[in-house]
């Protein structure tokens, strides 16, 4: 049997390809089905068209030109049901012992014998922390859902990438008093071209206050302390929405004995063709392969990993 860790789109796609080759497998997911997509903002729309998100030759038909989060959740449920994929949800992998062909995968609920292990855990499950006092307060959110709860509140948005800009604009338009804390001297150039002028105009008009070249120093119950080029600034605050990005589950990879590249990308070491890691019989699939370079791999261009891995496993277990 093959154990696939992660029930995201690429984990599901890998299971489908193994099924087509009559190779038994089990998908284990620590959260809900496509857990990362579930934690996307409620009103999010994908950049890509629906056909580029398809897996297993199951058609993805969306109402608009680009699919929404809710449509994607329904689609991947339908794909999993169509293939009757064996999936264990809300079960966390704690260790993988043994060797290629003789692995023992231990979770918080059970243990399983496996010939191969595939890690398809993505990167959205672990937020980049600011590591500052007060970051653990309940009012600090690293995942954004929708703007309504922040109406008429003093909201600090940390970050100036696509997520930070979208959050700032949505909250502003829902009546929040929005301030942005931005580490750089401007909005990131990578922000969507049709959104960038909007946020820059809101800042220019004073509708959203932005502090550039600024770090969040401390967070308190009713205020935040910013370190700006002109010194400390203390602001009244009800919520901090920290859109500081995410990274792969390095703790799990360390437990699995997967080596990482010694550069800023911190990618799991793997072979390009087979996606097998330094630990024989253990593979990586999907966006997790990019490490900290989270803008390189997406569902659209990593779906091929499923077939690459299934082909290599099929050849190696003959």
Q: What is the pLDDT of residues 159-198, one digit of tens each?
A: 999 899 999 999 999 999 999 999 999 999 988 888 999 9
> Which pLDDT does position 12 carry in this prediction?
98
> Which pLDDT does position 201 carry in this prediction?
97
> Which pLDDT does position 254 carry in this prediction?
93
Give yes or no for residue 318 having a pLDDT over 80.
Answer: no
Residue ranges of the chain that CATH labels 3.50.50.60: 2-126+246-316, 129-242
272 Cβ contact partners less than 8 Å away, ≥ 6 residues apart:
none
> Which pLDDT does position 166 carry in this prediction?
94
- Give the confidence band of 45 by pLDDT, cuts at 50, 70, 90: confident
163 Cβ contact partners less than 8 Å away, ≥ 6 residues apart:
144, 243, 245
C-beta contacts of 94-97 below 8 A and 24+ residues apart: 94/255, 95/255, 95/256, 96/3, 96/255, 96/256, 96/257, 96/282
Rounded average pLDDT over 277-290 = 96
> Is residue 112 classed exposed, middle or buried when 0-12, 13-18 and 19+ CB atoms within 10 A define those classes?
middle
- Give the confidence band of 294 by pLDDT, cuts at 50, 70, 90: confident
> Which pLDDT does position 59 carry in this prediction?
96
Give yes or no for residue 295 having a pLDDT over 80.
Answer: no
> Which pLDDT does position 114 carry in this prediction?
98
**Per-residue pLDDT tens over the stretch 73-116:** 999 999 999 999 999 999 999 999 999 999 999 999 999 999 99
Q: What is the share, in percent, of the chain residues with pLDDT greater than 70?
A: 100
Rounded average pLDDT over 7-28 = 98
Could you identify the residue written with the tokens 């003789």? 102
**What whole-number distance in Å separates Cα of residue 13 and Cα of residue 24?**
14
End-to-end CA distance of the chain: 13
**Per-residue pLDDT tens over the stretch 234-265:** 999 999 999 998 889 999 999 999 999 999 99
Rounded average pLDDT over 274-283 = 98
Q: What is the pTM of this model?
A: 0.89
Q: At what angle do helices 9-20 and 69-83 cross, to 10 degrees?
A: 20
Greatest mean pLDDT range, 62-66, 274-278, 287-291: 274-278
Could you identify the residue written with the tokens 């942005």? 180
> Which pLDDT does position 164 carry in this prediction?
95
- Give the confidence band of 124 by pLDDT, cuts at 50, 70, 90: confident
CATH class belonging to 2-126+246-316: alpha beta
Radius of gyration of the chain (CA): 21
Instruction: Specify the fold of 129-242.
Output: FAD/NAD(P)-binding domain (3.50.50)
- Pair of tokens at residue 217: 């120093």
> Is residue 59 classed exposed, middle or buried when 0-12, 13-18 and 19+ CB atoms within 10 A define those classes?
exposed
Mean pLDDT value across the chain: 95
């Amino acid at each position: 049997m093959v154990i696939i860790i992660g029930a995201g789109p690429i984990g599901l796609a890998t299971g489908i390809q193994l099924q087509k080759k009559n190779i038994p497998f089990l998908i284990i997911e620590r959260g809900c089905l496509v857990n990362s997509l579930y934690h996307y903002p409620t009103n999010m729309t994908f950049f890509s068209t629906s056909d580029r998100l398809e897996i297993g030759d199951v058609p993805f038909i969306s109402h608009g030109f680009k699919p929404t989060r809710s449509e994607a959740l329904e689609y991947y449920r339908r794909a999993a049901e169509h293939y009757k994929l064996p999936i264990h949800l809300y079960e966390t992998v704690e260790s993988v012992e043994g060797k290629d062909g003789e692995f023992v995968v231990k979770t918080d609920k059970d243990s399983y014998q496996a010939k191969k292990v595939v890690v398809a855990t993505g990167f959205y499950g672990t937020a980049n922390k600011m590591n500052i006092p007060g970051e653990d307060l309940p009012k600090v959110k690293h995942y954004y859902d929708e703007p309504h709860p922040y109406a008429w509140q003093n909201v600090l948005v940390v970050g100036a990438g696509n997520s930070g800009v979208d959050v700032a604009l949505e909250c502003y338009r829902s009546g929040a008093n929005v301030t942005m804390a931005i580490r750089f001297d401007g909005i990131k150039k990578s922000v969507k071209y049709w959104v960038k002028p909007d946020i820059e105009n809101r800042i220019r008009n004073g509708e959203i206050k932005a502090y550039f070249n600024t770090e969040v120093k401390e967070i308190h119950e009713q205020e935040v302390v910013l370190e700006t080029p002109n010194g400390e600034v203390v602001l009244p605050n009800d919520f901090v929405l920290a859109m500081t990005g995410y990274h792969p589950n390095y703790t799990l990879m360390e437990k699995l004995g997967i080596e990482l590249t010694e550069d800023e990308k911190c990618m799991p070491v793997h072979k390009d063709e087979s996606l097998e890691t330094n630990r024989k019989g253990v593979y990586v699939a999907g966006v997790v392969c990019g490490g900290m370079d989270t803008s390189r791999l997406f569902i659209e261009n990593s779906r091929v990993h499923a077939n690459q891995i299934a082909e290599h496993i099929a050849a190696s277990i003959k």
